[in-house]
């Protein structure tokens, strides 16, 4: 197949982010791409019919997705090659009964922070609201509910700064109060309620809405900038960028194997290990700890892998052997060295924009990367011709955790934490390098076309082809 350029990946990713402003939209957007590529949806509430050669995906709670395909040769105990990312980003969530009147002139919305967001950059930029609504279907004993995605796709809100004339100390630092300072201006006292606008955007009656999950989002589209157009700025790079790259690599690895076929020499040397199962999974709620039924701490990945194994006729022992021969990349963006705050970085490990995929290390296991999992990534990266760089926090600055160590409590596979280097993490507008999306897609494509075999002599990292 003809591979895309860095510019094409970046444009597609920025368009995807602009079109999918919440975790619910991200998953719906990925569902559309999978269906267009011939993947069929399975339901967790129904029996799964899975055959060799099958291509499937399953969605949990509307905001997490797992996609996989079964090789034609599905015998043996080769494992799962998994790439995990997350669909959510720090934001402001709309509370119940959100309209608040101010000074008999304005209406503002009652919102609360979701995740550890940087507050200052939310001010003085065009915002809107998107998410999902549940509407009532039927009446009486046959009453039910249906989920609809909603996006009020226009400039709707702003969080105005207080003028410096009214706070002369503003530029000396300010402690924001989320209940007071972050409430967006919505309209006048006569303005229609937000639920009415949401119903209008969804094409339903306001009185049919049972409840809503709505979030504010930055309306500014992504853009490429820099002296030589070497940087990219966009909302929600953390972590939609990794979710986008993982899916592209997943789909491309399948297409390339179909185009090129499988090398005969690999068949002779690899044998049944060619049955490795590639799995693309996107969790939700990473930004608030992952402890939800659709988060990395849930059974979503474990349930999916177990049901695949059962459908392939594995015994419980065979499933455990597959897990032992599995590998996961936990993909969540990483901190680049800040040009104005180099002192905040580790003394010698300095990830830079356009420096390649970042391997993330932490002695206290906030990141899962160790010498073994990093070595597997280095082999994959070398085969794909990739640059790799390392991230450690300064030893006196505690870092955050991510998907790998949390997911490992449910599915104990060998895992490395990776990411794309970025600036302004958890801001409503973040920055990365224009080469880095392609680098992550390439690593994902190599992962999904590979497998590992663990034995007494070490680990073999092999190429599976189809």
DSSP per position, 71-108: -S---S---EEEEEEE----EEEEEEEEEEEETTTEEE
Q: Domains in the chain, please, with CATH? A: 6-89+235-463 (3.40.630.10), 91-219 (2.30.250.10)
Predicted structure pTM score: 0.94
Which residues lie below 8 Å from residue 456, measured CB to CB, with a gap of 6+?
none
Q: What is the pLDDT of residue 1?
A: 67
Torsion of CA 158, 164, 167, 173, to 10 degrees: 80
Q: Which is nearest to 310 in space by CA: 40, 74, 112? A: 74
Query: CA separation (Å) from 143 to 136, 137, 333?
Result: 7, 6, 43
Q: Which residues contact 212 (CB under 8 A, 6 or more apart)?
A: 94, 131, 132, 133, 134, 150, 195, 198
Give the pLDDT score at 266: 39
Percent of the chain as helix, strand, coil, to the nearest 5: 30, 30, 40
DSSP assigned state of 337: P
User: Which residue matches tokens 């930004």?
Assistant: 287
* CA–CA distance, 436 with 244 (Å, rounded to integer): 12
Instruction: Output Rg (C-alpha) for the chain, integer angstroms.
Output: 23
Residues in CB range of 168: below 8 A, 6 or more apart: none
For position 436, what pLDDT does the model report? 96
From residue 333, alpha-carbon distances to 15, 29, 237, 245, 360 in Å are 19, 20, 8, 12, 9
Cα–Cα nearest to 438, from 280, 232, 176: 232
Q: Which pLDDT tens digits describe the chain residue by residue (466 residues)?
A: 678 999 999 999 999 999 999 999 999 999 999 999 999 999 999 999 998 899 999 999 999 999 999 988 755 678 999 999 999 999 999 999 999 999 999 999 999 999 999 999 999 999 999 999 999 998 888 889 999 999 999 999 999 999 999 999 889 989 999 999 999 999 999 999 999 999 999 999 999 999 999 999 999 999 999 999 999 999 999 999 999 999 999 999 988 776 655 443 333 333 344 579 999 999 999 999 998 999 999 999 999 999 999 988 889 999 999 999 999 999 999 999 999 999 999 999 999 999 999 999 999 888 999 999 999 999 999 999 999 999 999 999 887 778 888 888 889 999 999 999 999 999 999 999 999 999 999 999 999 999 999 987 889 998 875 4
**pLDDT for res 76:** 66
The pLDDT assigned to 365 comes to 86
């Amino acid at each position: 197949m003809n591979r895309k350029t860095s510019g094409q990946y970046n444009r597609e990713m920025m368009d995807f982010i602009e079109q999918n402003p919440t975790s619910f939209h991200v998953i719906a957007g990925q569902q559309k791409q999978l269906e267009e590529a011939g993947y069929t949806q399975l339901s967790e509430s129904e029996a799964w019919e899975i055959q060799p050669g099958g291509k499937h995906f399953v969605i949990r709670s509307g905001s997490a997705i797992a996609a996989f395909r079964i090789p034609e040769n599905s015998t043996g105990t080769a494992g799962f090659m998994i790439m995990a990312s997350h669909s959510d980003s720090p934001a402001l969530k709309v509370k119940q009964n959100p309209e608040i009147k101010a000074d008999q002139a304005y209406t503002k919305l009652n919102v609360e922070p979701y995740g550890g967001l940087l507050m200052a950059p939310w001010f003085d930029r065009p915002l809107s609201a998107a998410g999902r609504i549940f509407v009532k279907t039927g009446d009486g004993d046959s009453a039910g509910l249906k989920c609809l995605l909603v996006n009020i796709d226009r400039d709707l809100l702003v969080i105005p700064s207080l003028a410096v004339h009214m706070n002369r100390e503003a530029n000396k630092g300010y402690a924001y109060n989320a209940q007071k300072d972050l409430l967006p201006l919505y309209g006048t006292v006569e303005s229609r309620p937000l639920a009415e606008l949401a119903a209008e955007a969804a094409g339903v009656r306001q009185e049919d809405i049972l409840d809503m999950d709505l979030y504010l989002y930055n309306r500014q589209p992504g853009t490429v900038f820099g002296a030589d157009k070497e940087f990219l700025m966009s909302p929600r790079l953390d972590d939609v960028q990794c979710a986008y790259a993982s899916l592209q690599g997943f789909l491309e690895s399948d297409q390339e194997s179909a185009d090129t076929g499988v090398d005969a020499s690999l068949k002779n040397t690899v044998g049944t290990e060619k049955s490795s199962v590639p799995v693309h999974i996107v969790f939700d709620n990473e930004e608030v700890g992952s402890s939800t039924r659709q988060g990395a701490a849930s059974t979503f990945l474990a349930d999916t892998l177990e049901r695949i194994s059962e459908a392939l006729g594995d015994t419980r022992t065979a499933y455990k052997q597959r897990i032992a021969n599995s590998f996961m990349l936990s993909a969540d963006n990483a901190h680049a060295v800040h040009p104005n705050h180099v002192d905040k970085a580790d003394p010698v490990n300095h990830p830079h924009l356009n420096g390649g995929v970042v391997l993330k290390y932490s002695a206290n296991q906030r990141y899962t990367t160790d010498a073994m999992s990093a070595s597997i990534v280095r082999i994959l990266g070398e085969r794909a011709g990739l640059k790799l760089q390392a991230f450690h926090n300064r030893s006196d600055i505690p870092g955050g955790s991510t998907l790998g160590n949390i997911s490992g409590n449910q599915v104990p596979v060998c895992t490395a934490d990776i990411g794309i280097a970025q600036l302004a993490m958890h801001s409503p507008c973040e920055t990365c390098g224009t080469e880095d999306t392609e680098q992550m897609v390439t690593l994902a494509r190599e992962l999904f076309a590979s497998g590992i075999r663990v034995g007494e002599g070490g680990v073999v990292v092999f190429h599976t082809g189809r």
